[in-house]
Structure 1
Amino acid sequence: MIDRSLYTPPYVQIEASLAAEAVAWPDGTVPFHSEAAVASRFQVSRMTARRALQGLVERGLLRRARGLGSFVTAPKLVEAFTPTMQVHRAWRTLGLDVEMRVLRFEYLHPGEDACRKLELRRNAKVLYMRRLRLLAGAPIALDDRFIPPAIAKAAKLVRADLAGSILDALWRAGPLSHADWEIEARAADQEEAALLAMSPGAPVLSRNMAYTRLDGGVAGIGTSIHRADRMRYALTLPLHTPGSGEPASATPEVVDADSKEIQAG
């Protein structure tokens, strides 16, 4: 409902609420809420409802079809895996309304398993960072990161770093070598579902990661949980000729069936 004690205009409050619903809308072929439905639901005039819906059209979340109504246009976001992992910068370049909401930024004991992965003593404390990623006000991903205290200090990590690329911030502590990832589809638990505005058991994409420094030490570990209905992954891999370790030739090799000799085709 509208909070009339706020200075925020009613149509802005309605637009924010509807934007979250549009992002999570299950089917782009099903009409979105009509002006009449919005006006009745929020107890406002048709003009206010129309202005709120027009805001979603201008943000690219809705499209209008004459005689049919409004339809959600937001596609799944693509998280493209590249060496620089400039995902958030790419989203903002596209004009997407992306927000990073910091939930936790504190030193704590992460448990023996995390300490082992971070190559720390069993009772060590690490910097724990948790943030919620939102698109047009609706949650789409939950990020957890555990950073060794020496790395956090060397990188001069601060809460504001979570508004951008955490990987960029880690580079301040020294050069990184590579990242190891494990990706799986699974069901959201109670806590994840509550934070991502989903039903418990709904599908999510879980990405576990570990960043390794050039000297072989661990720079950090973590997990990113994405709503499976709002995200997809994209990855380009260089291909190599088997056994050579070299990129495949642009000119294919052809085997003559009679001579068995390999020729350049």
Structure 2
Amino acid sequence: MIDKSSPVPIYHQIEEQLKTQIEEGTLMSDSALPSEREYAETFQVSRMTVRQALNNLVNDGFLYRQKGRGTFVSKQKVEQKLLGLTSFTEDMVARGLSPSNKLITFEVFPASDRIAKQLQIPPTTPVYEIQRVRLADGIPMAIETSYLPASLIKGLTKEIINHSLYNYVENTLSLKIERATQQLEASIARESETKLLQIDKGAPILLISRTSFLKDGTPFEFVKSAYRADRYKFVHHMDR
């Protein structure tokens, strides 16, 4: 319950209790919360204090509101730890989620100067362009556009990329993936992204650019991704 003698503000104590219930699964995703009046009676505080706690949880993405219906628990974000180079499929499977793809484009075309620079190949060299919506348990998580040298990553088909590209590279082509360089920045969704990700116009997204290398230092993939900021978060552990 609430400790009114504590120096910690009462609304913050309520926030922390509700966060714990959400993280432990006591409050399930998309479940409706009790009303402000019910919480005020439970915690023996004012409705204004309850409202402040709920507003903060909405702003932090733990809760969402529907006009005329009430306040609900948001789906929890998928967490990716920036400790190693893994594929989207590997990340989702490791978290007990079912990964799937919706293919948007799959074609071979001459590399532009920018793509050629990232892959360290001459301009106009044939590259695959693969754009997919990546889903977890049927929910769109990211839009991913990959560029791969056609002469290096041979034999790609729509069926292959419907599963794990990294598995194909390592196990079928016997190429060793070693490292990648990655950039991450915040942005807002454009109209085309809102439709594919099923989010509101202007919703926050995470933009990621990554170049992946084989063991011999050869770049084999340049990928641009737009992740839903309300469903995904990145965690980086650092040692001093």
TM-score range, shorter chain: 0.5 to 0.7
Q: Determine the C-alpha separation between the residues in 2 that align with 1:95 and 1:176.
A: 24
1:24-35 paired onto structure 2 within 5 Å: 31=32
Return the offset for 1:232: 0.7
Unaligned runs of 5+ in 2: 1-28, 34-68
TM-score (normalised: structure 1): 0.57
Q: Determine the C-alpha separation between the residues in 2 that align with 1:136 and 1:177.
A: 29
Change (3 A) 1:189 1:109: farther
- Residue 180 of structure 1 corresponds to 181
SS in structure 2 at match of 1:184: strand
1:49-128 paired onto structure 2 within 5 Å: 71-72=72-73, 74-85=75-86, 87-92=88-93, 94-128=95-129
Change (3 A) 1:117 1:93: closer
Query: Match for 2:233: what amino acid?
Result: R
TM-score (normalised: structure 2): 0.62
- Residue 53 of structure 2 corresponds to none
Return the offset for 1:164: 3.3
Q: Determine the C-alpha separation between the residues in 2 that align with 1:109 and 1:222.
A: 16
Q: Determine the C-alpha separation between the residues in 1 that align with 2:229 and 2:181.
A: 21
Report runs of 4+ in structure 1 exceeding 6 Å deviation: none
Q: Determine the C-alpha separation between the residues in 1 that align with 2:30 and 2:150.
A: 50
SS in structure 1 at match of 2:151: helix
* 1:66-105 deviation digits (Å, cap 9, x = unpaired): xx99954631111233435155345335543432222222
Cα RMSD over matched residues? 3.0
Q: Determine the C-alpha separation between the residues in 1 that align with 2:32 and 2:223.
A: 39
* 1:204-225 deviation digits (Å, cap 9, x = unpaired): 0111000122222211101121
- Residue 169 of structure 1 corresponds to 168
Q: Determine the C-alpha separation between the residues in 1 that align with 2:196 and 2:30.
A: 27
Number of residues of Structure 1 aligned to a counterpart in Structure 2? 176
- Residue 132 of structure 1 corresponds to 133
Change (3 A) 1:115 1:86: closer
Q: Determine the C-alpha separation between the residues in 2 that align with 1:197 and 1:109.
A: 31
- Residue 221 of structure 2 corresponds to 220
Q: Is the 8 A contact 2:30 2:74 kept in 1?
A: no
Larger Rg: 1
Return the offset for 1:130: 1.3
Change (3 A) 1:91 1:120: closer
